[in-house]
Structure 1
Amino acid sequence: MQQTKIEIEQASLVLKLLGDRTRLTMMALLKMRELCVCELLEVFDMSQPSISQHLRKLKDAGLVKEERKGQWIFYSINKNSDAFPLLESVLEFVPEQKEKMEQILKSNPTMRCGC
């Protein structure tokens, strides 16, 4: 299967976004499953608006997509993005975030926030 090449500007933007530790960690977590902002609050020492800002940048670049479920928004990796093969390649070099995912599952924030 031949991969579609992306423009250098798009590749540069993707790599710049993934150069941020928080966003790279978010993408590694989203590789495991879709997540709500309240779940990400459990593993990042930052405010909800800060997490939302990181997600907005990833969404604006087409790396994540959002799906509304009731009043809550869940984020997942956009596998239809032209940049997905690049993202997938980068994430191959990132350790799995099992401990952070276990922290999310153990604290079960979706029970508190209702998503």
Structure 2
Amino acid sequence: MEKTIIDIETAAQTLKLLGDKTRLTIIGLISEGECCVCEFVEVLQMSQPSVSQHLRKLRDAGLVKENRKGQWIFYSLNQDHETYPIIQQILEQIPDQIEKLKALEQAGLRIQCD
């Protein structure tokens, strides 16, 4: 398998974005599938505008993708982004964030965007 070299500026931008605890948590949450803003609000205990600001930065950098379903936007990890191998390695080194989504589900708060 041929190793792809990532431009230093691009790598630095990705690492800078993931240097923020909130954005790193968001990436961890969507590593297994998509989430809606309302789910991030519940898990992170932050206001919707704050969460949207973090998501905008991740989206503008191309690290996350948006999928509109009706009036709701769901976010997922962009596995086609050139820095995805870096993101994968970081995710392997941090606690699994999926437990937070499972706790939301058990509380009946998962995907309340209807």
Calculate the TM-score normalised by the size of structure 1.
0.91
RMSD between aligned residues: 1.2
> Unpaired segments of 5 or more residues in structure 2?
none
Hey, what does 1:47 align to over in structure 2?
A: 47
- Whether the 8 Å CA contact 1:64–1:75 is kept in 2: the answer is yes
Alignment of 1:36-115 (within 5 A): 36-106=36-106, 107-111=108-112, 113-114=113-114
Distance 1:83 1:9 in 2: 11
Q: Relative to structure 2, which stretch is displaced further, 95-104 or 14-23?
A: 95-104
- Whether the 8 Å CA contact 1:28–1:97 is kept in 2: the answer is yes
Identity among equivalent positions (%) equals: 54
1:17-74 Cα offsets, whole Å, 9 max, x none, are 1111111111111112210001111111211010011011111111100010111100
- Whether the 8 Å CA contact 1:41–1:48 is kept in 2: the answer is yes
Measured after TM superposition, the shift of residue 97 of structure 1 is 1.5
- Whether the 8 Å CA contact 2:66–2:75 is kept in 1: the answer is yes
Hey, what does 1:2 align to over in structure 2?
A: 2
Measured after TM superposition, the shift of residue 96 of structure 1 is 0.4
Distance 1:101 1:45 in 2: 13
> Unpaired segments of 5 or more residues in structure 1?
none
> Secondary structure of 1:74's partner?
strand
- Whether the 8 Å CA contact 2:101–2:110 is kept in 1: the answer is no
Measured after TM superposition, the shift of residue 109 of structure 1 is 4.3
